[in-house]
Structure 1
Amino acid sequence: MDIHSIYLRYRFWILDFFKGSPIGKPYREIKVFDKLSFADGANKRERKLKQLLAFAQTNTIFYKNIKSYNLTDYPVINKQTLINHHKEIEVSQEVIPGQKGNIYIQKTSGSTGIPLEIPQDTLKRKRRIAELKYFGKRVGFNTHDLLIHLRIWNKWQTKSLKQIQKENIIPFDISDMGESRIKELCEIMKKEHVVALRGYASVIDLLATYVQHHPQCFPHLKIIISVSETLQDETRNKVKKYLKCEIISQYANEECGILAQEIPPTKPTDNIMYINHTGYYFEVLKMDSNEPCAYGELGRIVITDLHNYAFPLIRYDTGDVGVLLPPNERSKGYPVLGKLLGRKLDICYTTNGEPFSSMLLSRTLKHYDQIIQWQFIQKKEKEYCLKVIMQQNCDTNKYLESAISELLKVLGPDAIIKIEQVNEIPVLSSRKRKPVINEWKNGKYTQQV
């Protein structure tokens, strides 16, 4: 039991109470709503949606000519739409319900090539914090337990010493993740009795791989929350085997907040994500039209944020693609996100034009222990490149020939696969690492995954 964490937790909620519970109220509302079945929550969900649409019609230039509460009567928008029509969507501060002080500006990282600023009102901002606390608790992380946040910490993304102490967070910069830096991370985890990690899947993979070759124990570590990148099966398995803790994948974006996440205990090949219906109205639409997808059909993830009144996000195409599946025994009647394939432009295709998940590559390449790290690139319709970092002193040709043989079963027998041995896999400026890249942009979208 960590007395310091308990003290900080109680202190936070007591201070919040005396301020009028700006975070406690949305936290409790999320908790109650999340326990409702699909049928029991229908009226509440539709009421929130209708209130948002009515507000947008009355208070924005962009939506003023739409006189409907039917969501399908609203246009599907994307980042470029938000940039081109920013002033027409932005709401005047004096008409925003519950607004106190200045509007908060949430900046996106621009990992899709399109940076964006999203205004968020006071109540939305507080709710976003409440979401972090509630959905963290759902996966075993209690607010104010000691957490290491793995990301780039620069002059734009930083925390003051006071914030660090209040939140009980250790910011760990991942600009350089060489072996000495990973060793330093391990030492901090042991010395400080760290309970949780939050960061990119690729960085978590580097940590698990290091511990695989330099065995050590982290008895206080309970949960790892993987964000922003696809969590590969081999990373999940390595975490459970060598770090000996649970790891879950969380789907969130900077424009809105937490959209979906896995719930422990996770199954090795399941990858089911449970949607945050308390805050967002989800649609999965066809790749080439705004018609809804059937269960099991690959489509564009489109969301409506039910709580941002400073800048209504209605039918916002996130740029991500996924597959919606029917309700299961844990989802209380709600559909679940069966597959999250990442950015639409990074989907790769077999030689027959069928899209496939990077998980298929992961489940093939995980059997080759000699491959330390890999990146898959589709160059042309039937031409592919697999970049690999190999262990030293292994029979490279033997293993790579076998890997090509297995990949042909995934991609098609007429696939042309080039394997390139490298010393480093490049990362984006955000330090995100893309396991799959499509440099051939004219792939044919098909209906089933």
Structure 2
Amino acid sequence: MSIGGFLRRSIYWTNDFLHGSPVGKHYRDIHTILSDEKRGKQLQAESLKNLLEFAKKHSAFYSQYDSNDITSFPIVNKNILIANHDKVAVKAEDIPEQKTKEIYVQRTSGSTGTPFAVPADTRKRNRRIAELKYFGMLGGFKSHEKLGQCRVWTKWHNKSKKQQFMENILAINISKMDNDTVKNLVETVKNEHVVALLGYANWFDQIAQYLGEHPTPLPSLKVIFTGSEMLKEQTRSELKRLIGCNVLERYSNEEQGILGQQSAKGEYEYYLNHASYYFEILKLDEDKPADPGELGRIVITDLYNYAFPLIRYDTGDTAIMAEGNKLSHGWQYISKLYGRRLDLIFDTNGNPVQPMALARILKNLKGIIQWQFIQTGEHEYKIRLNMEENISTKECEAELRELLGERAEISVEMVKEIPILASGKRKPVVNEWKKQ
């Protein structure tokens, strides 16, 4: 624990207390629910009942449903919610604890090839902050210690210098995964005494390889949190061996928040955030509960977003659910999670490019319903776009060329639908050219 981290943490929680503990109350509620399944299920059931009653009353999309039985509500996905966005959304004046008329909009990066904008009310935003602090603590990281946040930072998504200072965050841009970027990151962790790293799972493949070739002691680093894709087991083992810190995968998405996380005391199970979400595992080919030990679809109800009720939301992921144990305090947990894997592509200089860099660019360009990016040659790329209307793609091409290099030859193909794989998922990033 650092003095700087302690002071920032003390200032934060004191300020939160003086303003009525909008985050602290959620933090304590999450702890209460997750540490006691019996009491937790009672509180979860109350939250679910309140959400369903609210949605029926204030969301035009859900007004036709009379029952409080969640199985009577429809299963929805991104495309359904996008098509019915205005009907699902709730007016600001009807949302409890909403402080402003302005509703925050959480934009997903479109890792499935379908960008998605989800309104989030004040209470939901505070819940997400509490989740970050609580699950960080479970992983051995206290909030406001030095955190290296490795992501694709763009002009649409950034933190001010003041934010970085107050939150004790180092914003590390990893749009490209070349050796210079990895070297700079490792040196930053060492020199800045970073306590935790948070980033995309496939990025840590590069770090493990670099540290294997250039052993570098990183004594300050206590935990690595990964997300977006499943981490390779070899990468996890190498990082633990080379650094000596815990490596924990998070199950999360941008439209909801932290859904679950591996435990530092466990193996590879994902302990779920039952405090904020209601989980269902349904059969792959029908809307019925999967049998114990059976692979099924993950369907999630967000208990705290009243601005845009996400009820029975099919995430597109699959998993196997297991009965509770001591580590989960009796709650069911995911014993096997099947996340999305993205193809790796290369820029015109032969450097690997973070697939999420494409998503970060494309989610902010107006009119895109779905996209698919394909590398067809050493300098040749194709982007397939399903767009709402005939909008110029010049900005899109310019942003991609800045990422890939000026020699990039980018062709644009307008389509009405992105092809679906046999698994039922769309593959947003494809490499048809394999680097020799």
TM-score, length basis structure 2 = 0.80
- Corresponding residue number in structure 1 for 2:75: 76
Contact 1:61 1:88 in 2 (8 A): yes
- Corresponding residue number in structure 1 for 2:300: 303
Kindly provide the amino acid, as one letter, of the partner of residue 441 in structure 1.
L
User: Of residues 421, 426, 433 in structure 2, which corresponds to 1:441?
Assistant: 421
- Corresponding residue number in structure 1 for 2:395: none
* 1:73 CA displacement: 0.2
* 1:75 CA displacement: 0.3
Kindly provide the amino acid, as one letter, of the partner of residue 430 in structure 1.
A
CA distance in 2, matches of 1:107, 1:94: 22
Contact 1:304 1:313 in 2 (8 A): yes
* 1:60 CA displacement: 1.1
- Corresponding residue number in structure 2 for 1:227: 227
- Corresponding residue number in structure 2 for 1:122: 122
Unaligned runs of 5+ in 1: 348-374, 377-386, 388-422, 433-438
Contact 1:223 1:245 in 2 (8 A): yes
Return 41-50 or 313-322, whichever deviates more.
41-50
User: Of residues 247, 268, 272 in structure 1, which corresponds to 2:269?
Assistant: 272
Kindly provide the amino acid, as one letter, of the partner of residue 95 in structure 2.
I
- Corresponding residue number in structure 2 for 1:193: 193
Q: What are the superposed Cα offsets for residues 25-81 of structure 1, whole Å, 9 maximum, x if unpaired?
A: 1111111122112x2322211111111000011111111111101010000000001
CA distance in 2, matches of 1:242, 1:88: 51
Q: How does 1:44-443 map to 2 (within 5 A)?
A: 44-101=43-100, 102-267=102-267, 271-343=268-340, 427-430=354-357, 441-442=421-422
CA distance in 2, matches of 1:12, 1:331: 29
* 1:424 CA displacement: 6.2
CA RMSD of aligned residues (A): 2.2
Contact 2:145 2:168 in 1 (8 A): yes
CA distance in 2, matches of 1:125, 1:187: 33
For residue 62 of structure 1, give the secondary structure of its aligned residue in structure 2. Answer: helix
CA distance in 1, matches of 2:150, 2:292: 35
For residue 224 of structure 2, give the secondary structure of its aligned residue in structure 1. Answer: strand
Kindly provide the amino acid, as one letter, of the partner of residue 170 in structure 1.
L
CA distance in 2, matches of 1:175, 1:11: 33
Which structure's relative contact order is higher, taking Cα pairs within 8 Å and 6+ residues apart?
2
CA distance in 1, matches of 2:19, 2:29: 17
* 1:425 CA displacement: 5.8
CA distance in 2, matches of 1:431, 1:94: 36
Contact 2:59 2:88 in 1 (8 A): yes
Could you say if the C-alpha distance between residues 189 and 96 of structure 1 is closer, same or farther in structure 2, counting changes exceeding 3 Å?
A: same
CA distance in 2, matches of 1:32, 1:443: 38
- Corresponding residue number in structure 2 for 1:18: 18
* 1:296 CA displacement: 1.6
CA distance in 2, matches of 1:50, 1:79: 23
Contact 2:297 2:314 in 1 (8 A): yes
Kindly provide the amino acid, as one letter, of the partner of residue 206 in structure 1.
Q
For residue 124 of structure 2, give the secondary structure of its aligned residue in structure 1. Answer: helix
CA distance in 1, matches of 2:96, 2:424: 45
Q: What are the superposed Cα offsets for residues 197-227 of structure 1, whole Å, 9 maximum, x if unpaired?
A: 0001111121121011101101111000011
For residue 204 of structure 1, give the secondary structure of its aligned residue in structure 2. Answer: helix
Contact 1:248 1:266 in 2 (8 A): no
Could you say if the C-alpha distance between residues 13 and 429 of structure 1 is closer, same or farther in structure 2, counting changes exceeding 3 Å?
A: closer
* 1:311 CA displacement: 0.7
Contact 1:261 1:275 in 2 (8 A): yes
* Count of paired positions: 363
Could you say if the C-alpha distance between residues 296 and 426 of structure 1 is closer, same or farther in structure 2, counting changes exceeding 3 Å?
A: farther
TM-score, length basis structure 1 = 0.77
* 1:443 CA displacement: 5.4
